[in-house]
Amino acid sequence: MPALRLILLWHQHQPFYKDLVTGEYRLPWVRLHALKDYYGMVKLLDEFPNVHQNFNLVPSLIAQIQDYVAGTAQDPFLNVAAKPAKDLTLKERQFALQYLFQANPANLIGRYPRYRELWERFRENGSAAEKAETYFQTRDFTDLQVLSQIAWFDEFFLDDVDVAALVKKERNYSLEDQSFVIARERELLGKVLPAYAEAAKKGSIEISATPFYHPILPLVCDSNAGAVSSPGLPLPQNRFRHPEDAREQLVRALDLHQQVFGVRPQGVWPSEGSVSDEALAIAHSLGVQWMATDEGVLGRSTGVFFQRDGNGRLPPHQAERLYNIHRYENGEAAMHMVFRDHTISDLIGFVYSGMDPGDAARHLLHNIKEAAEPVLAQGRDAVVSVILDGENAWEYYPKSGREFLRRFYDALQREGGLEPVTVSEAIARHRNFSPLPSLVPGSWINANFNVWIGAPEDNRAWDYLHHAREFYAQNAAGASEAQRKLAFEEILIAEGSDWNWWYGPEHQSANDRDFDELYRKHLSNIYQALGATPPDYLAQPIAGGEVRPAFTPQTAYIHPRITGDKIRYFEWMGAAMFTADQRAGAMHGKQFLLDSVYAGIDSAFVYGRLDFAGPVPDMEFDLVVNLESWASGEARPRRTLRLDAKVQDRTLTEWKVDGPEESSSAASDVSSGVSSTQGEEIARAALLRSFEFRLPLSWLLAMPGSAASPQTTTDHKPGAASIAPASRLKLRFSLWHNRLPVDALPVEGWIELQLLSEGDLGSGM
């Protein structure tokens, strides 16, 4: 019987945040992700001994973890979290507010009521540290310091008796509690790398490597490769061509892995899945046996565009090409190659976090089996490769996605004929390798390098690197060995892909300025290490101003006609508005379909409008609007409603509003876009170029068990009930396709509407 072999490869990576000259870590994400993700991802496999997996650990990440374990990492974020709150300076208090809330609002902050309370206080003051600082007392800072660390503790670490007791305490933490958390962090960090070494020794996992500082090897070999994969792409003024650096990055990576884990890696996931003939030749010369990249590179290299149907399935001849192991042979270079299923990998990264864990696990297993079926039907073994980020995605899952992973791994163990294997195991068991004579240079993102080169910011960064590399070549001979060593190390760091990830139009984060400054600092250190003054241009930001996501609160009552035609712009003036930021963050690949949403109230209705990023999508999909009413001081919403609209052929075919039993509900008359209930309450929905709706406020504001009719109190808050009146509404919009969440606004959190009179809204109360 033919076998279905599943390759799961988790890529663990963080940029090199350390300034080698000062020894200071510019950002804390190595420490925090090492606390939250790395240990549990591999330790979880103890429960599933037959589920073999692959972990790709970037050497610069390993080196930074070692630095923390040794206690030599100078981390200002950890220092501020560890310092007694009463001794914090004004600058440190502001620093704490700026950085200690940088966590997922729902799954990290929201998991701890006191942490959420402090975060909401921070948001109430515009998320500005300078303004908010005066509203935080010493006890608030102590609680923030403790909870901002515990929120990043791995699920296994939270099970420790001492840590569980701190979580249960919830607030009013002492200096002893704070000291305990900080001391425990270093102890827990020390468990990470040994856990991987132990799992590899047992044969449960295979550990692969990436070039040391995560460079894009094809571009380090030759920056002109950018225009090979994207003809006509604007290139930097100066050609960067240093294959000797690419080789050095790989040699150092393989050496460190052997030192830490006791075995030299057989395989490499090249940074961002970036490959070229030149890069593979270097890897082959160093004894690398296999490499992996994306299906897009395979498609371009073989002249095939992988086209899926509406269910994400490939036609049989394309499935046979993708779900195989390829044998690359070009001149003297030879390499086994596996290519990731882009669609299935992205489901884990971007979709399943919005689903019930059991449903997501079943959907994933079904997708893998269905994908491989055309190959198995031909009597051939199928190899499905699922490769993705092994850290950033878990912030979007409750409890770091552990329930989802447990259910999925358990299903894998029980599924006959399906073998979860390491890459080397898959190669050893495979027959009928597909020949691959050459590769078109490319990465896992669109089979090109456009994220890292081509945009003005990207090209400027490459030119600055070129100048620094040339300065080193001309001046290193006259420097001491220590100077040369430091300068060259900074060159290798600056060659990393992470800096240009944030330059250009594709990605953004709250730390863009930090990344820009750190990159320029690494370049400046090259000159300083060789006894020279850095060029003046390194004092100026490379990154230009970019549009960021914006939320504007409601400033006036609105009374729009519900037509679905967004040319009625003026009718929505005064509404709250949330605009999407269509630049992805640390995770690339998200599909953007929604552009902006508007929401507002008048004395009787709540209104909403959704604008698409382009035309109305030409596919069958659902639009879901979740609405909640909240009263001040209450921990749960007063009422909840869900508006569900079905769209087919760009036409609204049906819609309905559901809520709890005591709430009003309605189904639609699509021909008129109207849903009638008792009295004068009319719900409406419409879709033309936009989706628009209105719902009676009374459906959300009446007390459970009371008549669903609007009331008004003397404070002129519309629809307020006589007991504990609701003070605000929350709304969230999402688009679903094939019963999977594809896009949402806001991506995190909700749009909030204050329930005020029109005069109060206008006065900014």
pLDDT in tens, 228-253: 988 999 999 999 999 999 999 999 99
CA atoms within 13 A on the CB side of 181: 31
Task: Give the Å distances, CA to CA, from 315 to 312, 345, 474.
Answer: 10, 19, 56
Query: Can you read off the two tokens belonging to residue 360?
Result: 């997501």
In a domain, 559, yes or no: yes
Cβ proximity of 686 and 670 under 8 Å:
no
Mean pLDDT along residues 460-465: 97
Q: Select from 539, 569, 598 the last residue of a domain.
A: 539
Q: pLDDT band at residue 763, thresholds of 50, 70 and 90?
A: very low
Q: Which of 545, 548, 542 is nearest to 457 (CA)?
A: 542
What percent of the chain is predicted at pLDDT more than 70? 90
Residue 720 lies in a domain: yes
Residue-wise pLDDT for 179-196, tens only, equals 999 999 999 999 999 999
- At which of 514, 539, 564 does a domain end? 539
Do 636 and 711 fall into the same domain? yes
Lowest mean pLDDT among 205-214, 284-293, 658-667: 658-667
Is omega for the bond preceding 746 within 30 degrees of 0, making it cis? yes
Q: Is the pLDDT of residue 474 over 60?
A: yes
Assign 287 a pLDDT band (cuts: 50, 70, 90).
Answer: very high
pLDDT at 455 over 50: yes
pLDDT digits (tens, 9 = 90+) for 638-654: 899 999 999 999 999 99
pLDDT digits (tens, 9 = 90+) for 521-542: 999 999 999 999 999 889 888 8
Both 599 and 522 in a single domain? no
Interval 741-762 mean pLDDT? 80
Q: Is pLDDT at 161 greater than 90 in this prediction?
A: yes
Q: How many CB atoms lie within 10 A of CB 710?
A: 19
Taking only the tens place, the pLDDT of each residue in 387-399 is 999 998 899 999 9
Neighbouring C-beta atoms of residue 625, cutoff 10 Å? 24
* Pair (644, 524) in one structural domain: no
CA distances, 762 to each of 600, 727, 757 (Å): 13, 17, 9
% of the chain beyond a pLDDT of 90: 72
Q: Is residue 199 part of a domain?
A: no
Mean pLDDT calculated for residue range 306-329: 93
- Give the per-residue pLDDT at 405: 98
State the pLDDT at residue 710.
32
- How far does Cα 396 stand from its chain's mean position? 8
CATH number of the domain encompassing residue 566:
2.60.40
| Confidence (pLDDT) at 570 | 66
Does 274 reside within a domain? no
Task: Specify the number of domains making up the chain.
Answer: 2
Is 596 domain-assigned? yes
Q: What is the pLDDT, as a whole number, of residue 466? A: 98
> So what's the pLDDT on residue 635?
76
Decide if 116 is inside a domain. Answer: no
pLDDT at 502: 83
Element (H, E) at 192: helix 192-202
* CA separation for the pair 329, 334 (Å, rounded): 4
Q: Are residues 578 and 532 in the same domain?
A: no
Residue 678 clears pLDDT 90, i.e. is over it: no
Residues 434-440, mean pLDDT to the nearest whole number: 96
608 and 756 assigned to the same domain: yes
- Residue 663's pLDDT is what? 43
- 3-state helix, strand, coil split of the chain in percent (to 5) is 40, 20, 35
State the Cα–Cα distance between residues 750 and 116, nearest whole angstrom.
14
CATH code, 533: 1.20.1430.10
Q: Are residues 574 and 631 in the same domain?
A: yes
DSSP string, 310-332: TTSPPPHHHHHHHSS-EEEEETT
Among 539, 572, 604, the domain-final residue is: 539
SS3 of 394-426: HHHCHHHHHHHHHHHHHHHHHCCCEEEECHHHH
- Written as one letter, the residue type at 478 is G
Q: What is the DSSP string of 523-583?
A: HHHHHHHTT-PPPGGGGS-SS------EEE---S-------S-TT-GGGGTTSEEEE---S
Interval 16-29 mean pLDDT: 92
Instruction: State residue 760's pLDDT score.
Output: 73
Q: Verify that 486 and 606 share a domain, yes or no.
A: no
Q: Are residues 659 and 556 in the same domain?
A: yes
Q: Which of 172-181, 402-411, 682-691 has the lowest mean pLDDT?
A: 682-691
Same domain, yes or no: 573 and 525: no
Q: What is the pLDDT of residue 664?
A: 45
The pLDDT of 585-601, averaged and rounded, is 76
pLDDT at position 638 is 87
Q: Tell me whether residue 122 is in a domain.
A: no
Shared-domain flag, residues 535 and 554: no
How far from 634 is each of 105, 485, 606, 637, CA to CA, in Å?
Answer: 18, 60, 21, 7
691 and 741 share one domain: yes
Work out the pLDDT band at 704, boundaries 50, 70, 90: very low
Residue with tokens 């609405």: 627
Would you state the pLDDT for residue 286? 98
Residue 330's pLDDT band (boundaries 50, 70, 90)? very high
The full length of the chain comes to: 765
DSSP string, 40-54: HHHHGGGG-TT--EE
Average pLDDT over residues 13-35: 93
Given this model, what pLDDT does residue 348 score?
Answer: 94
Pairing of strands 4-12, 594-601: unpaired
Out of 122-126, 361-365, 595-599, 667-671, least confident range: 667-671
- The whole-model pTM stands at 0.81
623 with 716, same domain: the answer is yes
Q: Would you state the pLDDT for residue 620?
A: 92
For the segment 696-721, the average pLDDT, to the nearest whole number, is 50
Its domain, for residue 701, covers 550-763
| The two three-digit tokens of residue 249, written as one number | 């990055």
Q: How confident is the model at residue 702 (pLDDT cuts 50, 70, 90)?
A: low
552 phi, psi to nearest 5 deg = -115, 125
**497 within domain boundaries:** yes
User: Minimal CA–CA distance to 22: which of 542, 540, 518, 533?
Assistant: 518
Mean pLDDT value across residues 301-314: 89
Q: In the predicted model, what is the mean pLDDT of the chain?
A: 89
Instruction: Give yes or no for residue 178 having a pLDDT over 80.
Output: yes
> In whole angstroms, what is the distance from residue 509 CA to residue 163 CA?
31
pLDDT band at 633 (very low <50, low <70, confident <90, very high): confident
Q: What is the pLDDT of residue 386?
A: 98
pLDDT at 677 over 70: no
